[in-house]
């Protein structure tokens, strides 16, 4: 039995979660835009930290929901039928493999660069996991209940199901492709060719013409030899404001330390990620704004009218049958309802002199309540 106070707390919590979902979607979108748009590291750092906080929040939310369901012996029901699987995939893995390692990288600081090559490999996997965040979009479907045409619970369920399927299949495909791609035997791609060329160029460097090497290698930022800077593409202040620990790579070849920008690759990935994000958002919007009204108008509305006609003796509006859909089962049923049931109902009402009142006991409860 849920008390009014518990109901209020639950409602507040649900509202908070929906707000967090909307904010995290905006944050995900901005994270990519920030990379593509070349926003300063400070701004991107704020976005990364907020992403981490959101992941932490959703992980806690999932754990609370999961253990609460498990306590009631409904863990399976929660995971399979109440979108618990979305809560799971869009929380724990993100925290462990995406925002968690990113935070570690951010707070390791720019001075400890040696481990970042390894972190970068983790981030490649994390990028694939990151798309799972979009799954949260499915959690806000209930926000759209208030949208015109989706008043029917049946319409909401069907639209939610088809939207979930479409988004899940898209995200799963994208995720699997990103994970499997490196494992598949294939001829070297553009990135691999560039990396090989880059390595060759760095190996040939003998310390004499650093400027020529920098011209040949646009990603080259700094060359150092025994802590002495041989070459730097930008001023130190620029690096501080525009580069974070995840934006560059350190390679030591011979006596030389090379610092290479990872931004071109990160920007490519961000553009790809943004495209998928937009694709999925559009997919959801099309389902909600086009398919949902279509479903309501051609399925749930005629059903609603017929249900009222059967249930309420005074209700006798016919179902409007659009010519283009007249052969649909639902409209063939509606045609029978119009042609046979309503006239029969009218005759029966006349014959039996059936009583009907628009007033119901519920509407005068204020009088009856004291007597109960």
Binding site for another protein (CB under 8 A): 149, 296-297, 301-302, 304-305, 308, 314, 316-320, 338-339, 342-343, 346-347, 350, 353, 355-361, 363-364, 367-368, 370-371
Least distance to another protein, CB of residue 371, Å: 4
Q: Is 342 helix (H, G, I), strand (E, B) or coil?
A: helix
CA distances to 124, 218, 241 from 234, in Å: 27, 12, 11
Q: Is 2 helix (H, G, I), strand (E, B) or coil?
A: coil
Q: Assign residue 91 a region: left if phi > 0, alpha if psi is -120 to 50, beta otherwise? A: alpha
Nearer to another protein, 110 or 293 (CB): 293
- Answer whether 11's CB lies under 8 Å from 38's CB: no
Nearer to another protein, 200 or 350 (CB): 350
Least distance to another protein, CB of residue 369, Å: 9
Distance CA 138, CA 248 (A): 35
- Name the DSSP letter for residue 143: G
- Name the DSSP letter for residue 360: -
Smallest CA-to-CA distance from 162 within 11, 299, 26, 59 is with: 299
Least distance to another protein, CB of residue 293, Å: 10
Nearer to another protein, 72 or 339 (CB): 339
Least distance to another protein, CB of residue 329, Å: 16
Nearer to another protein, 73 or 350 (CB): 350
Least distance to another protein, CB of residue 317, Å: 4
The span from the first CA to the last CA of the chain, in angstroms, equals 21
Q: At residue 152, what are phi and psi to the nearest 5 degrees?
A: -75, 135
Nearer to another protein, 286 or 368 (CB): 368
Distance CA 203, CA 331 (A): 75
Least distance to another protein, CB of residue 344, Å: 9
Q: Assign residue 37 a region: left if phi > 0, alpha if psi is -120 to 50, beta otherwise? A: alpha
Least distance to another protein, CB of residue 290, Å: 16
**Strand arrangement of the beta sheet that strand 256-261 belongs to:** 228-232, 220-225, 256-261, 248-253
Nearer to another protein, 99 or 300 (CB): 300
- Answer whether 131's CB lies under 8 Å from 175's CB: yes
Nearer to another protein, 276 or 315 (CB): 315
Least distance to another protein, CB of residue 150, Å: 12
Cα dihedral 174, 86, 266, 38 in deg (nearest 10): 130
Beta strands in 150-308 (DSSP E): 220-225, 228-232, 248-253, 256-261
Least distance to another protein, CB of residue 360, Å: 8
Least distance to another protein, CB of residue 156, Å: 15
Q: Is 97 helix (H, G, I), strand (E, B) or coil?
A: helix
Distance CA 193, CA 88 (A): 38
Nearer to another protein, 242 or 335 (CB): 335
Nearer to another protein, 80 or 344 (CB): 344
Nearer to another protein, 1 or 355 (CB): 355
């Amino acid at each position: 039995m849920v008390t009014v106070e518990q109901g209020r707390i639950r409602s507040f919590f649900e509202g908070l979660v929906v707000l967090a979902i909307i904010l995290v979607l905006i944050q995900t979108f901005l994270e990519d835009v920030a990379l593509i748009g070349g926003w300063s590291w400070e701004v991107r750092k704020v976005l990364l930290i907020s992403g981490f906080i959101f992941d932490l929040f959703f992980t806690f939310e999932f754990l609370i929901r999961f253990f609460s369901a498990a306590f009631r012996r409904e863990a399976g029901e929660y995971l399979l039928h109440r979108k618990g699987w979305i809560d799971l995939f869009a929380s724990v893995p993100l925290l462990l493999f995406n925002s968690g390692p990113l935070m570690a990288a951010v707070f390791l600081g720019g001075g400890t660069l040696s481990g970042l090559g390894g972190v970068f490999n983790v981030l490649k996997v994390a990028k694939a996991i990151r798309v799972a965040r979009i799954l949260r979009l499915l959690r806000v479907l209930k926000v759209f209940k208030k949208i015109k045409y989706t008043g029917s619970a049946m319409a909401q369920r069907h639209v939610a199901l088809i939207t979930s399927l479409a988004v899940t299949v898209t995200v799963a495909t994208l995720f699997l492709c990103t994970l499997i791609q490196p494992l598949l035997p294939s001829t070297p791609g553009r990135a691999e060719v560039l990396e090989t060329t880059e390595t060759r160029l760095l190996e040939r460097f003998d310390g004499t013409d650093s400027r020529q090497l920098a011209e040949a290698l646009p990603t080259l930022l700094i060359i150092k030899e025994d802590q002495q800077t041989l070459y730097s593409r930008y001023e130190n202040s620029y690096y501080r404001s525009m580069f974070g620990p995840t934006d560059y790579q350190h390679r030591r070849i011979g006596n030389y330390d090379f610092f290479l920008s990872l931004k071109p690759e990160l920007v490519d990935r961000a553009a790809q990620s943004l495209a998928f994000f937009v694709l999925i958002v559009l997919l959801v919007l099309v389902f909600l704004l086009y398919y949902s009204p279509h479903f309501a108008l051609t399925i749930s509305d005629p059903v609603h009218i017929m249900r009222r006609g059967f249930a309420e003796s005074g209700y006798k509006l016919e179902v409007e049958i659009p010519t283009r859909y007249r052969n649909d089962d639902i409209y063939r049923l509606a045609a029978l309802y119009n042609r046979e049931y309503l006239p029969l109902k009218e005759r029966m009402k006349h014959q039996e002199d059936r009583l009907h009142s628009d007033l119901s006991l519920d509407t005068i409860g204020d009088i009856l309540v004291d007597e109960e």
